[in-house]
Structure formats: structure tokens, C-alpha cells
Amino acid sequence: MIIALAIMSNRPEPFLGAMLESIADAVDLLVLNDNSSDPGNSNLGVVRESKLYKNGKVHLIFSEFEGFAPARNLCLDYIKKSVKNDSWVIMQDCDEVHAPSFTALTRKILPNLPERYGVVDGYFYQFVQTFDYFTSLDRRHNLIFRFYPDVRWEGDVHEKLVNLKGERLATPYIYFHYGYCFPLKDILGKLRHYGTLGDEENKSAQNMSHERLLDGNAMHCIQFKKSHPPSMKPVIEGINEKFKEELSRFDAIIKRQTFMMRLRNSFRNLNFKLRIFWRTLQLKWILMKNHKR
């Protein structure tokens, strides 16, 4: 069984609908913690209009926010009581949207992995303030893991999984993270919230200016020449129109990259491509060996 596990809040989740659409055929169940206990949460309307919900594949949990790990552990508790222990669990956020190839990963590749593998990593494009450039291609550790009753999350922010079993496999699968594609004041508010929860990396956000945040990300931007997931098309059009002026200012900063910045980013992009090429060869070799047995 393929289970996605996610938490949301009562703040607007602009990418929630696109996320739900992107995993509709890839999972058998979504366990979603409302994480607010707010009956007027507008995000619930989006969930109930989704294909997953209408097909009876969503289980909602309602709880007060006491930290990110406790919120996710409530989802694990439900899985422990209600689902077979041989399931795969997907670590899902409401601002992460999957590529069409995600269904192939969950339906064709996971069932054919050797039993020794218990954790599957992937990669994601990180977008900040624009859909035309990405700042990095980051590895998502523990994107998918085999469920065991003692698997838990620890930590109030940037929570970590403990008690995982089996070998780790990094796949060439790439998805999309849009969590910083909204107004600067909201991004800084998000970072400052993480800082108040004890995240050392974001404690400096308390005194960070808009300009510092923009400049720091603009120097790393690489032009995105591929396609966004189909479910993102109306979302991108709406955000580009609503925040046209703010996004255009960021594009102007990107265009001021020096020659050395552009050259460095070209090498970074080449490194990303080589990394994915290697992971593709590695995965094909593993699947071929397992098929011969």
C-alpha cells in the first residue's frame, strides 16, 4: 500500500490543490492532519473537492498545533492502527507538487525494489519568488520509507525520522518545491516562525531585510527550461498575475548576475544533471539485477 502523510495549517495553502491532484493516481491513501482544529479552515474545502477525497482516499485528523513532529506522529499512529505494516509511506508537504512520473515511481519501481531497501530519496527543484528560475536541486532524504510501528518523527521544526530500517536508495526522481513562491513578508514570517521554534538556521531571519533575502537567492538562480507539473498551470498564472510587480523586481535582480555568477551557476547545473544521470544508471542496474533473480 502507498500512503502519503501530510500536515497543513489554517493559513491559505496556495499549492494544496495542485499537490492533491499530482498524487491522486500515485497513492492509495492520504493521511492529512488539519493541524489547527479550525472548523472554518478554508483549506478543507480544497481537500474535499479533490479527486482523492471523492474517491475515499483521504483520512483527516484534527489536532491543535504542538510542533511538526507531534503533528506527523499522529498520522503515523493512525497508520499503525489501521493499515498493514508492509506499506510505503511518502513524506508530503502542501507546497510540494509531484511530476507525472511520480506514479511510475510508486506503482512500478517501489514494488520491484529488493527487500533490503527501506528508504527512498528523491530530488526537488527549489523555487524562490519566481517560477522561471530555480535556486538549487536538493536531495530529499526519507522521501519514501517502509512503515514500521516504531518509526517516529522527532523535533519541533525540520523534524527528523528515527528508527528507519533497511538500506537507503537515492533515485533520479525530481519533484517541485514552491514553498517560497509568495510575497516576501510571508516568506520572512515563515522563516521567523521556524526560528521561534528553535531552528538555529533561521534565527537570523528575525533581523533579515527583504533586500538581503532577495539578493542572497538571486545570485544562485538558474533558468528553468523544463515544464512545471500540469496541475500547477492555473496556480502559476494566478500568482504571476496577483504578484506581478513583486515578482518582476526579483527577475530584475536576477538579470544583474555577474558573468562569474552565471558561469558558476552553469557548472552547478551541469553537476545537477550529472548527478541525476548517475542515479538513473544506478537505479536501472538495481532493477535489472532484481528482475533476473
Per-residue pLDDT tens digits of the chain, which is 293 residues long: 999 999 998 888 999 999 999 999 999 999 999 988 777 788 999 999 999 999 999 999 998 888 889 999 999 999 998 877 789 999 999 999 999 999 999 999 999 999 999 999 999 999 988 999 999 999 999 999 999 999 999 987 778 999 999 999 999 999 999 988 877 666 666 665 555 555 555 445 455 555 566 677 889 999 999 999 999 999 999 999 988 887 888 888 899 999 999 999 999 999 999 999 999 999 999 998 877 65
Give the span between the Cα atoms of 2 and 89, in whole angstroms. Answer: 6
Residues 6 or more apart from 47 whose CB is under 8 A from it? 16, 20, 32, 53, 58, 60
The pLDDT assigned to 225 comes to: 95
CB 5: neighbour CB atoms within 10 A?
23
The pLDDT assigned to 196 comes to: 56
Per DSSP, 157 falls in state: S
Helices (DSSP H) in the chain: which residue ranges? Answer: 16-23, 43-48, 51-54, 68-82, 102-104, 184-196, 210-218, 233-242, 244-254, 259-292
Whole-structure pTM value? 0.89
| CB contact at 8 A, 14 and 239 | yes
Q: What is the dihedral of CA 63, 52, 229, 142, to 10 degrees?
A: 50
The pLDDT assigned to 197 comes to: 55
The pLDDT assigned to 150 comes to: 93
Estimate the crossing angle of helix 210-218 against helix 244-254, to 10 degrees: 50
Beta-bridged to residue 59, according to DSSP, are 31
